[in-house]
Every structure is written in structure tokens, then in C-alpha cells.
Amino acid sequence: MIKNFVRGLSALSLALMPLLSAPAAQAAPTAEVTTLATAVGLVEVTEEARAGYTRSSFKHWNSGDNASDGCNTRNEVLLAEAVVAPTVGAGCKLTGGTWTSYYDGQEVTNAGALDIDHMVPLAEAWDSGASAWTGARREAYANDQGAHVSLVAVTARSNRQKSDQDPADWMPPSPEAQCRYVAEWVSTKLRWQLTVDDRELEALKVYTEGPCEDTIVRYTPAA
């Protein structure tokens, strides 16, 4: 009887061993919510350096969040942001649909007239810390759908006017869009632990101390 009891304890120990030795599941990053002024103060300030930058350093567009849907990241963003859903054909060809380009307030009914803008442009991300990342992390950044502010469907014209400029040199032409834009810019910098330079910081402070002082910033650190 004692032998059977010992065997039972041994079996129980063996059964529990994988559970005890298994690493604890990593908790999901916590979403942060704060004022624009506080958020701006959280971003590290450093000098920027573009040496070595090439757009090909950021692989995009990849197969997107759903590799089985036949749509790449660009089309997945278009589908997510459509005000009126387009028809999805073979090869994820989009026809019809309606979008609102918030940078300039334009309504667009042709997916081909839209660009998917990286809120913080790839070159600016490189300057601000991404030059030290692995290729895999840069790909994750360039295709980031984990935060809805990272990629945005806007008119090709407004995206190309913006180019790789930060808020010190370019803001959306629609005044109604500017507080949202600044909040989403700062949110993206914090999400990916990117830095700002002095001119960029001063430009952001103009909005925190004036028209956008009541704006809220929400961000979740990237894994």
C-alpha cells in the first residue's frame, strides 16, 4: 500500500513538472492613455541621422494580418477604413467603395487614388531609431495593423505632399485634422519607442500648448 502511495506521488510529480517548469505566458502590452502634453514629454529627444537609409530596408507590403485572405497589408487597410465597403474580387482586387481622406477631408471612390501612409514615414522612423532594428522589426513596423493609427488611407496627393516630413515641416491642410494628426504621430512614436529631434519637439509643443491641449493620446507599446 505504501509502495502504491509513493508511486502515486511520483506520477503526480511527473505530471506537474511540465506545468511548473513551463515559462509563464507573456502578458499582452497594456494600452496607455494620457494627455497630448504628457505624451510629448515621454518621447526621448535626440539628434536624427539618415545615413544608410533605403526604402527597401522596410519590407512592405507583406501578406498582412490574415495570410489566408489573399490581400496584402495595403488592401487590408483599405478594407478596414472603407466608409462604404468595396467589392473584393479575385486576387483581392477592390472595386467600388468609398473612403474619407482625413488629411484633406476628401471623399474618394477609387481605391487606386489612395495611398496607405505610414503615420511616421519610413525615413523618419529610420532617423528616429529604426536604423538599429532588425529587418524583421522594420517589416513589422512597415506593415503595422496592430494600432489603427500606424497606417492610414489618404489621397495620393496629400501623402506625397507630406513625403517624409515631420510636423515641423508638414501638417494636414485641413485644420480639423491637425489635433488628430499630432496625437497619432506621437502615439506612433511612443508605440515603437522612436525619438524626436529638437525642431520636431518644438513643433509638437505648439499644439500641446494651444489648439490641441485637450487632445488625448492612446498607444500600446509594440511587442
Of 67, 63, 156, which Cα lies nearest the Cα of 106? 156
Q: According to the model, what pLDDT value does residue 25 have?
A: 52
Nearest-angstrom CA–CA distance, 192 and 129 = 9
pLDDT in tens, 149-158: 999 999 999 9
Hey, how many other C-beta atoms are within 10 angstroms of the C-beta on 19? 7
Nearest-angstrom CA–CA distance, 180 and 103 = 10
What φ, ψ does residue 99 adopt, rounded to 5°? Answer: -135, 155
**With a cut of 70, which residues of the chain have pLDDT below it?**
1-28
Q: According to the model, what pLDDT value does residue 16 have?
A: 37
Q: According to the model, what pLDDT value does residue 139 have?
A: 98
Dihedral over Cα of 12, 18, 20, 24: its sign = negative
Q: According to the model, what pLDDT value does residue 27 have?
A: 64
Residue with cell 500648448: 209
pLDDT in tens, 154-174: 999 999 999 999 999 999 999
Q: According to the model, what pLDDT value does residue 29 have?
A: 76
